[in-house]
Amino acid sequence: MSKYKINDWRDSTVNKPCLLLGTGPSSYNISDKDIEDFKNKGGIVYGVNYAIQRFDLDVFVFFDYEVVEDLAKEIKEFKGIIWTRKFSDNKHLNWDWANTFSFTLGYEFTPHKSKILHQGNSTSFMALQLAYIAGCSPIILSGMDLDKPLYKKQLPGFVEASKNKENRILVVPDSKLANLFPTKKLNEI
């Protein structure tokens, strides 16, 4: 498995469409066939956290220790590219194959010039930065609906990302983030 640093990842998939999947309600309408068709058109599929259990991913991003605890088997068997942070206790995984990133607290959306990701209280926000750094365009978000009170603290990062003038970020029409980003159906990409 290839190992990357943030600068090595930069512009690695320029102008390649990216579907970034979480497991919120707007991801329920994404089928295996939709993903297969998207990949056949040259798209790349990123997923965060528990999306590894539901979707055929190319890139998997996780941040939280509970994900390591719950998904150790799936993570070990994953054949794509993995991005995460270094954990102090790595008893579950052999980190030799993981791509790790540095992060800082905050909601800035500056992936075009940063070597460090801003945490934004959200694995999805960090995955969005990784897709942006890689040059993906467009980046379609699905399953990042911030539909539970706990997730409201993640909203500021997506608000910052929505201010980006390049308009590379889209959401599926039934997303709760449709008030921040333009919408597009996956089959229209």
Rg for the chain, CA atoms, rounded? 15
Q: Is residue 44 part of a domain?
A: yes
Residue 73 within a domain: yes
Tokens 């590379």 belong to which residue? 168
Tens digits of pLDDT across the chain (189 residues): 456 777 788 899 999 999 999 999 999 999 999 999 999 999 999 999 999 999 999 999 988 878 878 888 898 889 998 888 766 655 555 555 567 777 778 888 877 666 778 888 888 988 999 999 999 999 999 998 876 666 677 888 888 888 887 788 999 988 888 888 999 988 888
Query: Is residue 49 situated within a structural domain?
Result: yes
> Looking at the domain assignment, is residue 138 inside a domain?
yes
Nearest CA among 28, 84, 17 for reference residue 51: 28
In a domain, 181, yes or no: no
**Strand ranges (E), the chain:** 18-21, 44-48, 59-61, 81-84, 99-100, 103-104, 117-118, 139-142, 169-171
pLDDT of residue 165: 73
Neighbours of 149 (CB within 10 A): 7
Number of neighbouring beta carbons within 10 Å of residue 92: 15
Which range of residues forms the domain containing residue 134?
6-165
The set of residues, in sequence order, having a beta carbon less than 8 Å from that of 93 and lying 6+ positions away, is: 68, 72, 75, 76, 87
Q: Which pLDDT does position 188 carry in this prediction?
A: 86
The verdict on pTM exceeding 0.85 is yes
Give the DSSP per-residue string, 73-126: HHHHH--SEEEE---S--SS--GGG-EE--EESS----TTT-SSEE-TT-HHHH
pLDDT at residue 84, rounded to an integer:
82
Contacts 24+ apart (CB under 8 A), 73-79: 78/52
The pLDDT score that the predictor gives to residue 156 is 84
Is residue 186 situated within a structural domain? no
Query: Both tokens of residue 88?
Result: 């102090």
Number of domains in the chain: 1
Residue 126 forms part of a structural domain: yes
Can you give the pLDDT at residue 113? 67
- Residue 178 maps to a domain: no
Residue 45: CB atoms within 10 A of its CB come to 23
